Amino acid sequence: MLENISRNLRMYYSSQKVLWKDIAIYRMQFIVWIFVFMLSTVASVVTITIIYNVSSGVAGWSYYQMLVVSSLANMMIGLVLYNISPQRLARTMRNGQFDQRILKPYNPVVTMLSLYGTKTSIGSVISGALVFGYAAYMAGISASGLFEMLFIFAFGVVSLTMFLLTITLLSYVLFNSAGYMQWITNIASRAAQYPLTIYGLPGTLLFTVGLPVGLASFYPSALVFGKVSQVSVVLVIGVEALSIAVYYCACKWLTKKYRSGGG
């Protein structure tokens, strides 16, 4: 088992090096797209700033606390898209290229996460991290609080990544298409910019379980700012771990149901 894990990790690392070398060939295009992704964070900061300048803001949340939630959301989406692009994965399934890759002796889930991401989304991670660092400092987050926050955030990112991969595979198995997955990603990105409490109980449940964006953005922030109890956070971590396991098993099962669309 350890040997398999080690082999899959080496494959992931090697594939990333190859993909980044390919990117280096078109450096200017890559730089442009990096800045395009960075603009999503800039737009979020501008929107939140306007909200707090023209109104009393979001009840119970200060300006810098809102920036923390928003920047975590941008980092989250950037990391998820870095590893999985629904359109790219579906395209290779339809033209038969995917067949060649899953026949290799590696975990098919790791294969998909290593080869079908949008590397330019690293722009959202960079800009989100810069805003997060500033907002966390201004909001007075302690070193221990920062560690707890990032721990929950990491689990949430993995959970959302596996969720997106699962519904992409399900979409292809059912419809031979995954074109509307970008629509779902856009909804997730916008919804995660704000505390889930503004959506009421139904919205909170939807964006915690149905579309798990809050696991990586809202709950880590709510913990460190004292908006939820420690018991609730333990429950959230449990939900994250269970979600990862369920989505992983679903991905393995759906991969077996895959039928090539290529020749």
Q: Given this model, what pLDDT does residue 63 score?
A: 94
Distances (CA, A) of 209 to 177, 204, 239: 24, 9, 8
The structure's pTM equals 0.87
Cα radius of gyration (the chain): 19
Kindly give, in sequence order, each residue whose CB lies less than 8 Å from that of residue 163, ignoring residues fewer than 6 positions away. 211, 212, 243, 247
Residue 262 belongs to a domain = no
pLDDT greater than 70 at residue 2? no
Q: Given this model, what pLDDT does residue 187 score?
A: 81
Number of domain units in the chain: 1
* Structural domain that includes position 7: 2-257
Residue 80 belongs to a domain = yes
Tokens of 75: 């980092």
**How many Cα atoms within 13 Å fall on the side-chain side of residue 32?**
4
DSSP-derived letter for residue 226 is T
Q: Given this model, what pLDDT does residue 160 score?
A: 92
Residues in the chain: 263
Asked whether the beta carbons of 238 and 170 are under 8 A apart, the reply is no
| CA gap 247, 249 in Å, rounded | 5
Identify the band that residue 1 occupies on the pLDDT scale cut at 50, 70 and 90.
low
**Each residue of 104-154: pLDDT tens digit?**
778 888 888 888 888 888 889 999 999 999 999 999 999 988 998 999 999
Mean per-residue pLDDT, 57-74: 91
- Cβ neighbour number for residue 129 with a 10 Å cutoff: 16
| CA gap 234, 205 in Å, rounded | 17
Residue 263 belongs to a domain = no
